[in-house]
A and B are shown apart, each in its own frame.
Chain A
């Protein structure tokens, strides 16, 4: 496969694992639908003697990856890359370390086992170790646009041509102290504060007719002015720039800040029933926003159509991506659980 020919990211597999309580109580897997509660234990992911070295974020990510790897047919991951989207890394572990330092007789008396987990890139580092992923490994912080940034960089990695498998992750723990403060500040109900890890397994590809949904293009930046009208223009301009006429747009997934919600009428008129506005809870899920949107498009875009996902915050920082589905097969990203449909967008 020549470098020049690699142009896109085919969605081979994906999982969104939601874990509302203690690890051993399990979670639910959003994949092609709401699967039954899972029964994986932490001890199955890492040896018991090493459990003390992991925090909740890392375990959650490993659990999600274990579901993806169910389908691995012996493919070596040595040349794969990992791009982690995150808002603030394992911030709860950092908070815990600071507290230990503040409360100990000597300020350096902190739990050494958790020290590696205090860096922002800890979870994807643990993921690489567990699965032997030796390609580029980066952690990107861009708040709601983190997963978009992961896709932008994934496309650059793909075009560079030195990896054929890219895992893009997004993860937030809303049950922790930081997540609780964040959720409180946005008025999210307790029931909506669910720790979630998303992993998308991308295969770099040059064939636009590949049967899986394909991320063809992604851009992030900042809109001036930050307005619904300029968002509509952005979507149409971006689609046109990628050779897509409005009629081919099968679905337009939009995630906006609270202050924008009342200003979406114009978008509704422009795109009609194709417009899907991400639920407020999910729009406030930081790095997970783009993952929710890609999960939606991966399942809902019809054969021969193209979906657009866009996210914009109050200041106009935006991400936009184009997801296509060939005539051959739409919504066919294989999964590790029964097929269904994501209940809400």
Chain B
């Protein structure tokens, strides 16, 4: 199925990154181009009883980036990230909130743990036999992330939070793409959000898949994930609508695929990932040879990077396109991660390829072109954004420059 052959052509017109290495498109792109390392000693969770201490955190006061913060002051941090990212994305798209109030603007946000800080607070309150009232309980639902976005813009469209863990924001983008193609909404705001969270930290720590400090995807001896946080949002709309209003078009969504390993809850299956990449390229009607860049899932665990390489090799043979992992700079922000990858793809399509930092000695068993020398100037025309998740959920998108 080709996006230009079935339904409306869908384009990306707004970017809203709220990340540990930069908030807003300019700051985020600058950080990607200069290879900023966002690793810090974590301050948002108490790491005293953990052996690991590092992660990546969004800096500054989130309220500054949310126009109507008071209305959402009681919401969870993931909602705040989503709200801030949405505001930035809409502004970047040149869309006034008043212009879309009451219209069908579908809001799809992915997450791994939902309103995690509120769930944490709830458990603490339970331990003190003070479970809190109904209002605070209702705010813990994962649905509140996308609903808060819908409330803030006054949308009459869908508001769905997609709990597909680390591939969730690619799934959100796919939902938006399909909804616009089907003519079910005017705009879609798609992305993801997750906060630095004790449960996430404990989980990767316990699994032995967490690095001690820097995240080093594709490096020999890499140690694992660096947990992170943030909110990512992209504005999708039909090509015709974007042209009509004179919007800047970053890219066209050429196609996608989603599948499930149906194999193991946490172990990536490279056969299935390869199948998903092939299906995404077929869906986009793009031959593998035209792909100029892969924004890898690239978590920095030994198993993920190795399996992702095998999948890439299965699709592209021995001459795959350049690959990088932005998680080397900003860690793994879980449900928001693929959205950041999608935004990084817009940089690749317009200026050049973001690097994988912290590669001192590339894993000899991953003999591919890892962009590790720094930002590689020169735009490409077709890119792939990979995202995989616990549960075996793979979501892959193909973006291209407008033809």
A residues sitting closer than 8 Å to B (CB atoms) are 3, 53, 82, 86-89, 91, 94-95, 97-99, 101-102, 104-110, 112, 115-116, 118-122, 124-126, 128-129, 131-143, 146, 149, 152-153, 156, 159-162, 177, 181-182, 185-186, 219-224, 315, 317
Among B104, B134, B159, B182, residue most surrounded by chain A Cβ atoms (within 10 Å): B159
Contact of A86 among B113, B163, B265, B391 (CB under 8 A): B163
Minimal Cβ-Cβ distance residue in A for B45:
A107
Task: Please state if B389 and A121 are interface contacts (CB–CB under 8 Å).
Answer: yes
The smallest C-beta distance from A20 to any residue of chain B, in angstroms, reads 23
Contacts of B164 in A (CB 8 A): 120-121, 137-139
On whether the beta carbons of B393 and A185 are closer than 8 Å, the reply is no
Q: Known contacts being A88-B140, A88-B141, is A159 close to B160, with CB within 8 Å?
A: no
CB-based A-B contact count at 8 angstroms:
218
B62 at interface by CB-CB < 8 Å:
no
Given A108-B205, A137-B258, does the pair A3, B143 have CB atoms closer than 8 Å? Answer: no
Of A104, A160, A220, the contact of B158 (CB 8 Å cutoff): A220
A186 & B134 in contact (Cβ 8 Å cutoff): yes
> What chain A residues lie within 8 Å of B113 (beta carbons)?
94, 118-120
Q: Which residue of A lies closest to B197 (CB)?
A: A98
Task: List residues of chain B with CB within 8 A of the CB of A138.
Answer: 162, 164, 171, 258, 393
Write out the residue numbers on chain A whose beta carbons fall within 8 Å of the beta carbon of B122: 95, 181
Q: How far is the CB of B114 from chain A (nearest CB, A)?
A: 6
Q: Which residue of B lies closest to A287 (CB)?
A: B143
A87: which B residues are within 8 A, CB to CB?
141-143
Across the interface, do B265 and A122 meet the contact criterion of CB distance under 8 Å? yes
Verify if B161 is at the interface (C-beta below 8 Å from A): yes
Distance of A135 Cα from B160 Cα, bound (Å)? 20
Chain B: interface residue total (CB-CB under 8 A): 76
Q: B68 contacts the other chain (Cβ, under 8 Å)? A: no
Contact with A along B1-14 (1 / 0, CB 8 A): 10000100000000
Do B260 and A112 touch across chains, with their CB atoms under 8 A apart? no
Contact of B259 with A by CB under 8 A: yes
The interface residues of chain B lying within 8 Å CB-to-CB of A99 are 123, 127
Q: Is B126 an interface residue (CB 8 A)?
A: yes
Across the two chains, which residue of chain B brings its CB closest to A222?
A: B156
In the complex, the answer to whether A88 meets B114 with C-beta atoms within 8 Å is yes
State the Cβ distance, A90 to closest chain B Cβ, in Å: 10
14 A–B pairs (Cβ distance < 8 Å), ordered by A: A3-B6, A89-B142, A91-B119, A102-B127, A115-B206, A120-B164, A121-B163, A121-B164, A133-B260, A136-B259, A137-B392, A149-B158, A149-B160, A181-B137
Q: Could you tell me if A119 and B389 are in contact, using CB atoms closer than 8 angstroms?
A: yes
Contacts of B393 in A (CB 8 A): 121, 125, 137-138
User: In angstroms, how far is the closest chain B Cβ from the Cβ of A243?
Assistant: 17
Q: Is B41 engaged at the interface, CB distance under 8 Å to the other chain?
A: no
Q: Which residues of B contact A223 (CB under 8 A)?
A: 156
Write the B93-125 contact mask toward A (1 if CB under 8 angstroms, else 0).
000000000101000000111100001101110
Q: Is B196 an interface residue (CB 8 A)?
A: no
* Cα A133 to Cα B127 with chains together (Å): 39
B159, chain A: closest CB distance, angstroms: 7
Contacts of A134 in B (CB 8 A): 259-262, 272
The answer to whether B143 and A141 touch across the interface, beta carbons within 8 angstroms, is: yes
> B258 to chain A: which residues have CB within 8 Å?
135-138
Quick one: which of A129, A135, A182, A222 contacts B263, CB cutoff 8 A? A129
A136 to B168, CA, bound (A): 12
Instruction: Considering the complex, give the chain A residue whose CB is closest to the CB of B161.
Output: A141
> Of A88, A125, A133, A140, which contacts B390 at CB under 8 A?
A125
Known: A94-B119, A138-B171. A89 touches B49 (CB 8 A): no
Distance (whole angstroms) from the CB of A279 to the closest CB of chain B = 20
Tell me whether A108 and B156 are in contact in the complex, defined as CB-CB below 8 angstroms, given that A88-B141, A128-B262 are known contacts. no
Provide the residues of chain A in CB contact with B111, threshold 8 Å: 120
Whether A108 lies near B112 (C-beta < 8 A) is no
Contact of B202 among A107, A146, A182 (CB under 8 A): A107
Q: For the complex formed, measure the closest distance between the CB of A209 and the CB atoms of chain B, giving whole angstroms.
A: 24
Cβ-defined partner of A107 (8 Å) among B49, B163, B175: B49
Q: Which residues of A contact B165 (CB under 8 A)?
A: 119-121
B51 within 8 A of A: yes
In the complex, which residue of chain A has the Cβ closest to the Cβ of B182?
A156
